[in-house]
Homo-oligomer: A and B are copies of this chain.
Amino acid sequence: MVDSRFHRSGPARTLDDLARLTGAEARAGTRGDRFTGVATVADAGATEIVFVEDRRYLDALAESAAGACFLQAELAERAPAGMALLVTRGPQRAFAIAAAALHPAEAAVPGIAAGAWVDPAAVVDPSCEIAAGAHVGPGAVLAAGTILGANAVVGRNCMIGEGTRVGAGASISHARIGARVVIHPGVRIGQDGFGVVPGRDGHVKVPQLGRVVIGDDVEIGANTTIDRGALGDTVIGPGCFIDNLVQIGHNVRLGRGCIIAGQVGISGSTIVGDHVMMGGQAGLTGHLHIGDGARIAAKAGVMRDVAPGMAVSGAPAVPIAEHLRQAVVLRRLTKGKGA
């Protein structure tokens, strides 16, 4: 199922290996005890593992030839005879951990390619992998295990933490990046924020004199843009996951562990708490406060502060229950009326 031309496999694992790794309870099967990869329920064979978290897949599970399956205890009886089980309250989470063990990401292959441009005044750990066409500016510091993809650019005096990966063609300036950060291709970090004082006789640009600070274990999707602060920092807290084509304005601050879906836009100086989730194409105006654990629905247009734990939807955004009532009311009002 996993195409070996694109994804490597690590050593095979036994059921006990996988149980230890994930904290699942192992129930042995009869299809073998040597697992080498992951697959979908429909496609898996005896050396592959799968997971079921959604009851919609139970019929497929009954017919699956997979060697082992992560699932919750109450679904165990629905697995076919002979399939080994890995019983856990979080099957997808356990599966993700097992998949990362069976198909480990490529490690850095130390070395600076011919055709990479590393300034003599940069500090690059010998364990880093720098592809051809990549640039490292003067004073930049790359910690152990950093990988710079083809044509990636790290500007003057930027700091990159251990094990961080910068994708092809991404560019970073005016920034301090944490450890184990994954920056996908085409990401833009640290360019000028959008600061302009409008005037009839010509607008005046506000110099953007801040930085970007990104915590550890952050993931940033392809072609996403994160502007540096006007004064002070734009901050992405540790453990945030940001999808593709997201716009993050100057002086925005995201707390820990936020999950931001594709094409979201967050305007300048908005402060976002911890563990906030935002659906695709949501937009937030500037200078807002979004409380811890708030949820912003896809396409929401948020123009006011959102309290901790609150879920909002619609444009302008309102509490999600109210937005649903609006939709119901509109449907009733239009019933039976010709267009």
- Check B325–A157 contact: CB distance below 8 A: no
* CA distance in complex: A7, B233 (Å): 13
- For the complex, is A206 an interface residue (Cβ under 8 Å from B)? yes
- Check B167–A168 contact: CB distance below 8 A: no
Query: A167-B171, A194-B262 given as contacts; is B327 within 8 A of A96 (CB)?
Result: no
- For the complex, is A261 an interface residue (Cβ under 8 Å from B)? yes
Q: Which residue of B239, B249, B283, B322 is within 8 Å of A281 (Cβ)?
A: B283
How big is the A interface, by class?
A: 35 or more
- Check B263–A285 contact: CB distance below 8 A: no
User: Which of A11-19, A122-130, A216-224 faces chain B?
Assistant: A216-224
- Check A321–B339 contact: CB distance below 8 A: yes
Chain A interface residues (CB < 8 Å from chain B)? 1-3, 5-7, 38-40, 43, 90, 92-93, 95-97, 99-100, 103, 105, 113, 115, 117, 131-133, 135, 139, 149-151, 153, 155-157, 167-171, 173-174, 182, 184-186, 188, 191-192, 194-200, 202-207, 209-211, 217, 219, 221-223, 225, 227, 231-232, 239, 241, 243-245, 247, 249, 257, 259, 261-263, 265, 267, 275, 277, 279-281, 283, 285, 298-299, 301, 303, 315-316, 318, 321-322, 324-331, 333-334, 337-339
> Cβ of A149: which chain B residues have Cβ within 8 Å of it?
153, 171
Query: A99-B209, A117-B115 given as contacts; is B92 within 8 A of A223 (CB)?
Result: no
Q: Which residue of B1, B257, B315 is within 8 Å of A231 (Cβ)?
A: B1
* CA distance in complex: A249, B245 (Å): 11
- Check B265–A263 contact: CB distance below 8 A: yes
- Check B197–A92 contact: CB distance below 8 A: yes
List 22 contacting pairs A-B, 8 Å CB cutoff, sorted by A: A6-B211, A38-B209, A40-B231, A40-B232, A103-B207, A117-B150, A133-B133, A169-B186, A171-B186, A185-B191, A194-B244, A200-B275, A202-B217, A203-B241, A203-B257, A227-B244, A262-B265, A263-B265, A265-B280, A279-B285, A281-B281, A329-B337
How often does this chain occur in the complex, in copies?
3
- Check B245–A245 contact: CB distance below 8 A: yes
- Check B339–A334 contact: CB distance below 8 A: no
Min CB distance A163 to B, Å, is 13
* CA distance in complex: A337, B334 (Å): 18
- Check B206–A92 contact: CB distance below 8 A: yes
Query: A96-B206, A327-B316, A329-B334 given as contacts; is B171 within 8 A of A171 (CB)?
Result: no
> Cβ of A241: which chain B residues have Cβ within 8 Å of it?
194, 196, 203, 205
> Cβ of A151: which chain B residues have Cβ within 8 Å of it?
133, 135, 151, 153, 169
Which B-chain residue is minimally distant from A3 (CB atoms)?
B211
- Check A301–B299 contact: CB distance below 8 A: yes
> Cβ of A217: which chain B residues have Cβ within 8 Å of it?
202
> Cβ of A318: which chain B residues have Cβ within 8 Å of it?
331
- Check A262–B267 contact: CB distance below 8 A: yes
> Cβ of A277: which chain B residues have Cβ within 8 Å of it?
198
